Amino acid sequence: MSEQANPFESLQEQIDDAAEYIDASDDVLERLKHPERVLETNLSVEMDDGSIEVFKAFRSQFNGDRGPYKGGIRYHPGVSRDEVKALSGWMVYKTAVVDIPYGGGKGGIVIDPNEYSEAELERITRSFATELRPFIGEDRDIPAPDVNTGQREMNWIKDTYETLENTTAPGVITGKALDSGGSEGRVEATGRSTMLTAREAFDYLDKEMADATVAVQGYGNAGWIAAKLLENLGAKIVAVSDSSGAVYNVEGLHARDVKGHKNETGSVVGYAGADEEFGNDDLLTLDVDLLVPAALENAIDGDLAREVQADVIVEAANGPLTPEADDVLTELGVHVFPDILANAGGVTVSYFEWVQNRQRFHWSEDRVNDELEGVIVDAFEDLTSAYEEHDLPNFRTAAYVVSLQRVIDAYTESGNWP
Ligand code: GLU
């Protein structure tokens, strides 16, 4: 993994690349390259042994021209101000590319959650929720899960907010458990959009999905669900990895069995159905039809990109390719379908959850999945139309051309006050 690329600079470069094809003034563009505000806070929390520990936490509200700020909260030791800024910016363009009425935000706590008890994590989360309270709200800023957070943390945040505000406001946060106002289909939604994007991409490129070989880097919620759903389409998952390493079988692994092994042992490594094991980087350079990076930012830098042999990359993670990697892959003719489309299922079903919360109504899983499919297929068409119409160098630029234009239109149409 490259340590060099700063994700915030990567975001700004991606906007600049797309801006070449858009009629927008420099000052309007400049405005769209910086967050509107960033909350930085130090949470002092009592540990189980009575000591106090301090945790740095952030919430970046990047842009709200198209609606309330929207985006997850991650718990990871690598969280930094610039990472959160970048991730919040990617959310702006993600919500715009799938055309749901939100802006972009993102938060994070600098923490390795594996080192803390559940009671400690609850106090840390409630402390963060208390700090966030004045900044969030059903129509203001709506957090959600991200790396190392899920229904449990979302429920704690909702409960803290509602208690402090003395109200009922389930739409203040999404990704909740079903009993707390969550939506059917939300847990699988990110991986589902990766599968749908890959399906549409293969169709667009006239490639067969049946028996296509697939490598998935990262076997968390996004990676494993994408693997399972791609397998349902007839693809052969030949390699998957997590932070401990990769497992490989040329005949195909069984996505569900690998997940079972990971649940039992904590890692995909050691899975009995594999006939080879190697490091993460080796997975990224396998000769496969489809590569799905589903871990963290900067997984593929310029040097590694030169060794990539996959025909198509569909990004389940946020920001897994550095801008240099993008340039190299464009030159090599590898088709990259970007994160802001391919993992947008998470935020799209978050939107459905919020709509259901506001309406005090519950949709069936089939309805959620059908509506999600419609959103991703429409967005895919918008992206490929822009790609063809402007003769763009790659699909990432196409996604930014579409989304940047939508944000600029919302801004210019509603005036620029102040
Ligand atoms: N964390 C997810 C993302 O990066 C989901 C955000 C949301 O549901 O608001 O897209």
Q: What residue owns the CA closest to ligand 1's atom 9?
A: 71
Tokens 């706590």, residue located: 109
Mutate to test the pocket of ligand 1, among 69, 74, 91 (most ligand atoms within 8 A of CB): 91
106 flagged as catalytic: yes
The SS3 call for residue 97 is: helix
* CA 52 to centroid of ligand 1, rounded, Å: 31
pLDDT at 1: 42
Q: How close is the Cα of 94 to the center of ligand 1, in Å?
A: 9
b/e 287-324 (16+ beta carbons within 10 angstroms → b): ebbbbbbbbbbbbbbbebbeebebbbbbbbbbbbbbbb
Instruction: Judge whether 32-180 and 189-342 match in fold.
Output: yes
CATH homologous superfamily of 189-342 equals NAD(P)-binding Rossmann-like Domain (3.40.50.720)
Q: What is the pLDDT of residues 138-196, one digit of tens each?
A: 999 999 999 999 999 999 999 999 999 999 999 999 999 999 999 999 999 999 999 99
User: Is residue 135 over pLDDT 50?
Assistant: yes
Q: How confident is the model over 336-348, as pLDDT tens digits?
A: 999 999 999 999 9
Q: What is the mean pLDDT of residues 282-297?
A: 96
Domain layout of the chain by residue ranges: 32-180, 189-342
The answer to which of 28-32, 338-342, 362-366, 396-400 has the lowest mean pLDDT is 28-32
- Average pLDDT over the chain, rounded to whole? 96
Fold of the domain spanning 32-180: Rossmann fold (3.40.50)
| Closest ligand 1 atom to Cα of 102 | 9
Pick the atom of ligand 1 nearest to 175's CA.
Answer: 8
Predicted local distance difference test score (pLDDT) of residue 2:
44
pLDDT tens string 55-85: 999 999 999 999 999 999 999 999 999 999 9
Pocket test residue of 140, 190, 348 for ligand 1, highest count of atoms within 8 A of CB? 190
| Spatial distance between the Cα atoms of 186 and 369, rounded to a whole number of angstroms | 9
230-264 residue pLDDT tens: 999 999 999 999 999 999 999 999 999 999 999 99
Active-site residue, selected from the candidate residues 85, 94, 106, 259: 106
Cβ(143) to ligand 1 under 6 A?
Answer: no
